[in-house]
Structure 1
Amino acid sequence: MTGRPVRPAPYEPPQQSVRGQLLDAAVVLVLIFATLFATTYLSTEEPDSGAATGSAQQLAELALTPGEREQYQKMIDAGVADRETIAAGVAANQPAADKYEIDVLALIGTAVLLAVYLGFVYRVSFREYREVIEEKFGPGEGTS
C-alpha cells in the first residue's frame, strides 16, 4: 500500500428509460386534461332562464356610481358591451345574504384530501431522499 486514499468512482445517477419518460409525460397530460375537463364541464352552471330577458335596463336605473355609468356608456358606444350584459353583471355583483355559501362537508373533505396528498408526497419524497443519499454516500452507519 502506498498510503494514497482510494477515490470512489464518480457518482452516476440512475437513468430513466425513454419508455418511462413517455409514460410519465402521458400520465401528466391525462391528469391535466382531466382537470380541465372537470373544471369546464362539471362546474359550469346553467344560465338563468329569467336573466336578461325583456328590455334591458337603462344605465340610469342600475345601481352604479357616476364614474361606472360613464365607463359603461363608453363601452356601449364602442360596441364592446350591451345593456343586457351590463345589467346582468351589475345584478350579479349586488350584495346578497346567500352569495357566498360555504359547504362545510366539502370544506372538510377538501382539507382531508389535501392532508392525505401532502402526507403521501412527504413520505415518497423522504424515501427518495434516503435512496439518493444512500446511492451517493453508501449505506449509513445504522443501516445494513
Structure 2
Amino acid sequence: MDKPHYEPPKQSAFGQLFDSLFLLVLVFAALFTPLYLKLAGGGKTDLALADTKTWEGLGQNAVQQAQWVKLGLTPETAAPMITSRFDYSFSMVELVITAVVVIGYFALLFAFSKREYREVLEERFGRK
C-alpha cells in the first residue's frame, strides 16, 4: 500500500516576510516592555565617599589611576562612574515564578510538538 508523498503547505514570500517581521516585533516587545514598565533592573546606588577629589579618596591604585588618565579623566570627572554601582538584588519569589513560567512554556511546547510530530510520522509511515 503506497502512502501519498507528504507535501507541506506552501507559503508566499509575502507571508514569510510578514511572519518574520511579526515575530521580530514580538521579540522586541517582549524584551523592551519590562524596561518601559520599570519592571527590569534594580537601578543604581551611589557610594558615599568622603573624598572624591583625589584618586586615593576614590580608592584607585596607581594602575587604575593611569588608566583613568589615559581616558582623559580627572578624579572629579571619573568620580560619578567610580561611585555608581548597579543594584543586583532580586526577589526569590519572582525568580521562582519566572522559572515556573519558563519551564511550563517549554513543557507545553514539547507536548504539542510531540503530538504534531507523531501525526506527521503516522501520516507518512502509518501506525506502528
Superposed CA deviations along residues 17-40 of structure 1, whole A, max 9, x for unmatched, are 337535532431231220242254
- Structure-1-length-normalised TM-score: 0.63
The whole-number CA distance in structure 2 between the counterparts of 1:106 and 1:45 is 13
Are the aligned partners of 1:59 and 1:69 in contact in 2 as well (CA < 8 Å)?
A: yes
Structure 1 residue 106: Cα displacement: 0.6
Pairing 1:60–2:48 present: no
The whole-number CA distance in structure 1 between the counterparts of 2:117 and 2:3 is 21
**Alignment correspondent of 2:68:** 72
Pairing 1:105–2:93 present: yes
Are the aligned partners of 2:42 and 2:89 in contact in 1 as well (CA < 8 Å)?
A: no
The whole-number CA distance in structure 2 between the counterparts of 1:123 and 1:110 is 20
The whole-number CA distance in structure 2 between the counterparts of 1:83 and 1:39 is 35
Residues 1-144 of structure 1 aligned to structure 2 (within 5 Å): 11-18=5-12, 21-22=16-17, 24-41=19-36, 42=38, 43=40, 57-76=53-72, 83=75, 86-93=78-85, 99-138=87-126, 140-141=127-128
Structure 1 residue 7: Cα displacement: 6.1
State the percentage of identical aligned residues.
30
The whole-number CA distance in structure 1 between the counterparts of 2:44 and 2:16 is 43
Aligned residues: 121
- Range with bigger deviation, 118-127 or 22-31: 22-31
- Structure-2-length-normalised TM-score: 0.69
Structure 1 residue 46: Cα displacement: 7.1
Structure 1 residue 83: Cα displacement: 4.6
In structure 2, the CA distance between the partners of 1:106 and 1:46, relative to structure 1 (3 Å rule), is closer
Q: Which has the higher strand share?
A: 2
Shift >6 Å, 4+ stretches: 44-48
The whole-number CA distance in structure 2 between the counterparts of 1:106 and 1:21 is 37
One-letter identity of the residue aligned with 1:120: L
